[in-house]
Structure formats: C-alpha cells, structure tokens
Structure 1
Amino acid sequence: MFSANKNSYLQLQTSVNPTLVNKAVRRAMRKTQFDPHDETPTAQRMTSMQPSLFGPCTDITRATLGFERLGLRHINRDINSEDNFIKLRAIHSLLDHVQISENAMFLVNLNATNKLIDLLPDQDPIVREKVCLILTILGNYYQARARIMAKPIVINHLMFLFMRDRKEIRYAAARCLKTLARSEAETIIKNEKVVENLIKMIKHDHEGIVLIHLETLTHLAEWNPEKPLKANAFKVMLKLILYQEDRITEAAINCLVHLCKHVVGQKLADKYDLTRFLIPYVDSDNVNIIISTLGLMAYTTVTTRAKWRAKEFIYTLSRRLVYLCIVHDIPALQLRAMQVLINMCDSPDVRGFMKGNLVKYIEEGIKIRTPEQWDGSTEPRKYGLDVSHNYRTRYIDGTETVKNDKGDYVDSVTVPNYLQRVRDTKEHLLKAMDLKPYGSSG
C-alpha cells in the first residue's frame, strides 16, 4: 500500500514493479488519477531537463523499504550489498530518510557514515553523487561530523571527486567539502594538498563550482591564512575580483579579508595598492559587494603605508563612505565604513580634511536603527520580509548573523549589543577626528 504522506510503500520488500502496484491500487479504488511516473517513459519532461545521471530500473521518487527502525536497519544493511540494484535502491531511500532529523541521527548511530565514506570511490557514478549529497546533509549535525572527520581519508576521496569526476559529481563533492569546512576547518586544513587543489580548480572549473570552492577556501583561510598565502591565493583572488559575476566577486573579496588579517597579506595589499584597487567597488550597484569591500578595506588601511597612500584619494573616498552611512541604514555597512574612516584618521591630513568638511554630516546625517527595525542579519533586506526573526533561532546557509562578542552565550544573536557597537563606533570616529598630533599645543 502506498503512503502519500511518506511518499513510500509501507511493505518492507516487493518484487513487483512499483508503478504496477500504483495502477492496481487505483483500479481497485475505482479512482482515475494521472501520474506521469506511471506512464512510459517514466519521466514526462523535456529532453533538456533530463539528468545525465539516473538510476536504471529504479523509480527515484518511490521507496520500497518500510519506515520506523526496522526499515532503517534494512537500508543500512543493504548499503554494502553486492547486488548493485539493491545498493542503488538503498542509497536512494537513504537520501530521502536523512531529510528527517530523527532518522538521520538513528542512521548515524548505526555507523552509516563509515559505510558511505567507503562508497565514495565506487565505480558507479550514481552512487558517488548520491553519497556526496547524503554526507552533505549529515554534515550539518555535530555527531555526524565527528564520525565523518574521524576518517581523514574522506578528504582525499572528496578531492579526487571534485578534481577528476564529471561536473555533477564535482558539484556534489564541492558542496560536501564546504559543509564540512564550515565547522571542521582545523582538521581539513591539515591535509597538505587540499588548499593547492582548491586553488587549482578555482581557475578552471564551472562558475557554480568555483563559487563553492571560494566559500570553502574562505572557511579554511579564516582558520589559518598561512597555507593559502603560500599557495599564491592572493593573486588568484585579485583576478577573480575582476570577474563579471557579482557572486564570484563578492566571494573573492570575502576570501581576501581573511588573507589580509595576516601580516604577509597586509604587505601584499600595500604592494598591489589594494585600497586604490577597491575604490570602484565601493560605487557598485550590489549592496553585498559594497559590504564585503568595506570589510576588506578595514584591513587594507591598517598599515602606515596605506594610510599615507589614502591621502591621494581622500576627497572622493571619505565623502563616498560618509554618503553610504547616511543613505543606507544597514548596521554592518555603517560599522565597516566608519571603521575604514577611523583607520584613515591616523593620517593628519586626512583628519584635518574630515574635521573641516564632514563632521556635521557624521553627527546629524548618520542614523542608526533601533532593535525593532532590524532582524539581526547582514542581508540588505527589509525587516521581516522573508524570514523575519528566524535568524535569531536557526542557521540559514548564505546568511551571516550578528553574534554576541562576549559573555557566556557567545553563539546567541543579540541585536541591541550590535547596534550599541555601531553607536560606539560613531562616537569613536568623532573623537578620532578631534585628535591632535603628538607634541602640538592645546
């Protein structure tokens, strides 16, 4: 019998074609219902929508194993089956079950992750792709990540897949590695070849896969920027900034932020005059690129050489930064822009120019949101438009949430603390403009 709620059959095993069971049940119920999966061919779609990887003799939208603990144990047992058809059927069902957190944790306790890792170098491309997708979902759970990273060979398997396999599997392997790198960067970066291979594939792969590799490299550089710097990641990021796709440009800038936190990265930024290079991106039409650029400028304007270099374009850059703080009320943008201005105020000429021309605009023009007007995210969206206060309660991939800097609950989102930090930065900027050189008379 077919269960519409679970999208699966309730019996444990069947030797009958699932489509025939559907037809027999509907005929017995005298109910006419058109199901494209029961017709020939099974998928009534356009040719351009057909995947290049498909399960032969397997209806991927139907499961043949039962649910509850008995069915999950059967699935876990069939993963290692010598019959390729039974193994494919088990993997397809497993991909459906891991969507439910309870079933995912039960499968983790059954050590399903170890079996899945052993299947990564399988000869069947369908198995390799589905295993990568399953590990990506399980990688969001702490218990599953601990078991996955207990076998470091998984990193080598994923590297082999995203370097040498077909594009669908390269994409799935890249997503899996990015999910693991988000929380296990310390372990992953110990692999000697992972950074070099990521940079190598960034140069030659498809745009969507390159974007995932950039996010992975950003997580690794955040933990340890030395290895990416030794692998010449700085020059690669400079070339990717010039790419026409906004997402690639933003990801490359975010990666450079962590590289410039290192002393060597700051020296390279001075060598290539990175602050001057980033000025056109402050005028970008994409708000996300502006926020990322200002975050990078906060590190490129730290050195003495960069502060003196900023005097040549202080008239346009300082006015533009103050204008952004006035026009936009996005706290992350305001905070980063004012931090760049504070760094530049260490130069007496810059400080004098800003004190004589921009004090009034900073005091009266920069408005800061109230906690009721902000949902705690760096996304340039209106309050409550899409996901509202879900930012405060759960993780959303691709959305950065503002976290508390101190206290017992460092992972909790506290919007008032962050807004208070923006107010303190504004006061710090006003004080920085009033500073006088050492040895000058009052």
Structure 2
Amino acid sequence: MFCPHKNSYLQLECAMEPRLINKAVRRAMRKTQIDPHDEKPAAQRLTSSQPSLYAPWVDITRAKIGFGRRGLRILNRELNSDDPLIQLQAVNSIYDQVYISESALFLISLNVVYRLIKLIEHSDATLREKVILILTRLANYYQGKKQILSRPIIIDRIVDIFLEDCKEIRYAAAFLLKTLTRGEYACEVILKNERVVEVLLKVMLNDHMTIVVFYLNALKNLAEYDQERPLRANAFQVMRNFMKVHEPRIVTAAMDCMTQLCKHPVGKALADQYDIIKAIKVLLLASNVEVIICAVGLLNYVTITNMSKWRSKELQWDLVKRLVDLAVSSNLPSLQLRSLQVLINLCESPDLHHHIGSIWRDKISGIPVKTHEQWDGTTTTTTFGLETGHNYRTMCIEDVETVRNDEGDNAQVVNAHSFLQRVRDAKQRLLDAIDRRPYK
C-alpha cells in the first residue's frame, strides 16, 4: 500500500494513480484514515510539500522536514550515514531538489558532488542510478561540472560501469558522460583518461540502441576537441558501419561523429579511400529529415579533397540534382545553408563548375530564403512540441538541433536574423562562383 507520509523514495509510477489504490484498499478494509496535512485551515501545516517531477500518475509525497537551507544541509550529511535506507531516502530527496536551481546551486556549494562520487560504487543498484542522475543534473551548471571534473576518478568509474553494470545504470552513465563532454575544458580533462575512447568504441557495438546514441554523442563531443585519438582507435570504420543501420538516431549520431573525424586530414583520406560519397548519396534520399541534414553536413567536409571532387563528377547528375532540390524546395534554412556550401565546394572542379552553371544556375538563383518571422531557429520537433528560441546554445535542451557556429564553444551566439543572412550570403557566393571563369 502506498504511504504518503514517507519520504520521496516511495514515489511510484504505475498505470493507475497510487492514491486511487489507497482509497480502494481503505474502503475494502472499512478503515477511516485522517491525514493531518489536509486539516483546515491550511496555514496550520508544519511541513512543506515535497516537490515532484511532473510525470503522469506520480503522487506528490510529503517530506519530514521543510527543505530550506537547513534541510539541505541535513540531507547532505545523511549521504554519509551507515544506514542504507537513510542514504536512499537522502539521495531520492536530493534528486527532487536538484531540479530547483537555487537548491542545486546551494548543494553544489556544500560540496555534495564529492559525497555523491563516493556513492557511485555503492552495492545498491537503485542508489547508484539515482546518484548518477543527480550528477547529470548538476553537470548542467558550470560550478557543478567544475566540481565533478576536479575528481578525475569519476571517469574511471563511468568506464567501469560501461563494462560491468546493468543496462539501466549504463544508460544513466552514458547520459552523464554525454553531458560532461560539452565544452573544450571538459573534453581536455576527460581525454586524459587512457581508456575512455577505446571503451566507448568497444561497448557501443553490442549495447542497447538508446544507450548507443548517447555513446555516439559523447564520442562526437570528444572528437570535436581531438580527432587523432578516435582515429587511432579505428573510430572511422565503426562509424562507417553504423551508417548502414536502419535506425535514424544512430545514423545521424554516427554521421555527426564522422563529420568531426573528417575535419582531420587522415579522416578526409579515409573518406576518399572508402568512397563515403557513394554511401552519403543514398542517405540523401532518406525519409527522415534529420538524416538528410547530417548527410549534407558530412558531405560538406568530404567534398574538399581533389579525389572527392573526381568521385562527385562521376555521380554529378544524381548528386547535384539532389543538392539543388534540397536547397530550393527545403523550408529548413540549416539544410539550405549546408547544401549551398557543398555546391560551392563542387564548383572548384572545372567539370562540375560547367555542369552546375549550364544546367542549374537559373534554379539556384530562385532559391527562396525565409524571413525571421517564418523561422524560430530550430529544425526538429520534439515530443513536447516545437522548441522555440533563436539558436540559443544551452546545455539543457536535449535532442533538438539548434543552429550553432562551427568554431566551438567560444564562438558568439548567432540568432535567426544573422543565420538567415548567412544563407543569403552563401547563395550569393555560389552564384559568384558559377559566374567566375578563372580559366579564360
């Protein structure tokens, strides 16, 4: 039977509301239960309500104490208790509190991160999972990430979880690693670990699909900072195999990772060696728009070398026609910008330059560009609806591709106005490249 007077570790999520089960049981037992918290007037209540995540059929339980500064200090001390039940109650209460920014920052100032890192090796799997989820939430704050990365031992423990623990905890640990890898300083600290890249490439081959997506996103962030380490660990061949999977999330994450690898000269040479353009040409016809966006983004880095331009010349009819169609008929400015940039790269080849100029110039000149009122800066629709915001690169929005610069975290944030201006500038550069006749 569900007890509302216990701490938040008794929160349940089921197909039926727990309070309805309680009511049915009390009616069957013909027992009247008086809740002192519901007495009127409500001003007599001496304990505060325990905050809860807004999820369906989750009962809002009450805490034993008011969660002010004093209550958070008590919870922080209870993490070192010898009683596993008290530790579990404290961890679950802290898990609810870290969703309040003020409480999360105060807990960080109490150095709760150091206590939580010690609990990652706890024997209770439920407690380990909640501890990792708390650290993931705290890693969204600059102060929290700084404290977490000040203990490099946590990377070793995350790697051990990937190799040994159950899938639920591997999922939480992969989400934590993905969150930690945002930022150049974080990648620099994480890459000091000698096993992290090699283990990621090893475990992603046989793990669950959703966990593999987190692995790939974490590897993408690490490869954005340093391409040599993944390339030495044979990451290019692994990403090439993932591009053949029929799951769009894995394909997009693998292409994003390969895009970072192709920024290195060795990655470009491997792309020419394995003829990646042929595989990308097939993905340009995919039904998923995110796959197409990632494929064109990868093609942008692949079509820089001379060998890739010769290969593109062999596929020019299908490849150029598809790129022009994406630039003309697409209503996504990010896809338009990437398609235009690929066409600019292809114009460096004399044969492709003549082909694009003689056949497709009129169609390219008619490419429509949206206004800022018609576009909110995003390209995908999440389960919660269309995410708005003009290209604000935050660390809290998941699975939403926002427009961002390619220069890294230190680049200035661009809004919809400036990004649409980039699309117009790219269109003009392409027309100038078509009209240019350097060989005359």
Range into which the TM-score falls when normalised by the shorter chain: 0.7 to 0.9
Which residue, 341, 344, 355 being the options, matches 1:342? 344
The answer for the alignment partner of 1:25 in structure 2 is: 35
The answer for the alignment partner of 1:16 in structure 2 is: none
C-alpha contact (below 8 Å) 1:241/1:253 kept by paired residues: yes
Q: TM-score, normalised by structure 2?
A: 0.84
Whole-Å Cα distance in 1 between the matches of residues 393 and 228 of structure 2?
34
How far apart are residue 437 of structure 1 and its match? Answer: 4.1
The answer for the alignment partner of 1:156 in structure 2 is: 156
Cα 1:156–1:404 shift into 2, 3 Å = closer
Structure 2 counterpart SS, 1:388: coil
Cα 1:142–1:3 shift into 2, 3 Å = farther
The answer for the alignment partner of 1:120 in structure 2 is: 120
Cα 1:133–1:275 shift into 2, 3 Å = same
Q: What letter matches 1:268 in structure 2?
A: L
Once the two structures are superposed, what CA deviation does each residue of 1:241-289 show, in whole Å capped at 9, x if it has no partner?
A: 1111111111101100000000000000000011112101001111110
Q: TM-score, normalised by structure 1?
A: 0.83
Gaps of 5+ in 2: 11-21, 27-31, 41-56
C-alpha contact (below 8 Å) 2:223/2:260 kept by paired residues: yes
The answer for the alignment partner of 2:227 in structure 1 is: 225
Structure 1 counterpart SS, 2:402: coil
Whole-Å Cα distance in 2 between the matches of residues 222 and 175 of structure 1?
18
Whole-Å Cα distance in 2 between the matches of residues 380 and 367 of structure 1?
22
C-alpha contact (below 8 Å) 1:401/1:413 kept by paired residues: no
Q: What letter matches 1:424 in structure 2?
A: D
The answer for the alignment partner of 2:435 in structure 1 is: 434
Which residue, 306, 309, 314 being the options, matches 2:316? 314
How far apart are residue 147 of structure 1 and its match? Answer: 0.6
Q: What letter matches 1:397 in structure 2?
A: E
C-alpha contact (below 8 Å) 1:65/1:75 kept by paired residues: no
C-alpha contact (below 8 Å) 2:121/2:128 kept by paired residues: yes
Whole-Å Cα distance in 2 between the matches of residues 207 and 60 of structure 1?
32
Whole-Å Cα distance in 2 between the matches of residues 404 and 296 of structure 1?
15
Cα 1:68–1:235 shift into 2, 3 Å = same
Once the two structures are superposed, what CA deviation does each residue of 1:59-117 show, in whole Å capped at 9, x if it has no partner?
A: 99554343101111110000010111111111111111111111111111111000000
Once the two structures are superposed, what CA deviation does each residue of 1:6-61 show, in whole Å capped at 9, x if it has no partner?
A: 9899xxxxxxxxx99x943169859xxxxxxxxxxxxxxxxxx9xxxxxxxxx995
Cα 1:352–1:243 shift into 2, 3 Å = same
**Structure-to-structure mapping, 1:21-170, within 5 angstroms:** 23-25=33-35, 63-170=63-170
Whole-Å Cα distance in 2 between the matches of residues 27 and 346 of structure 1?
75
Once the two structures are superposed, what CA deviation does each residue of 1:266-318 show, in whole Å capped at 9, x if it has no partner?
A: 00000001111210100111111000000000011000111111111101111
How far apart are residue 404 of structure 1 and its match? Answer: 6.5
Q: % of aligned pairs identical?
A: 44
How far apart are residue 430 of structure 1 and its match? Answer: 1.1
Structure 1 counterpart SS, 2:205: helix
Once the two structures are superposed, what CA deviation does each residue of 1:172-219 show, in whole Å capped at 9, x if it has no partner?
A: 111111111123222111211100000011101111111110010000
Q: What letter matches 2:190 in structure 1?
A: I
C-alpha contact (below 8 Å) 2:9/2:92 kept by paired residues: no
Structure 2 counterpart SS, 1:324: helix
**Structure-to-structure mapping, 1:37-436, within 5 angstroms:** 63-183=63-183, 184-364=186-366, 366-379=367-380, 386-389=386-389, 392=392, 395-403=396-404, 410-436=411-437
C-alpha contact (below 8 Å) 2:324/2:339 kept by paired residues: yes
Q: Aligned-residue CA RMSD in angstroms? A: 2.9
Gaps of 5+ in 1: 10-18, 31-48, 50-58
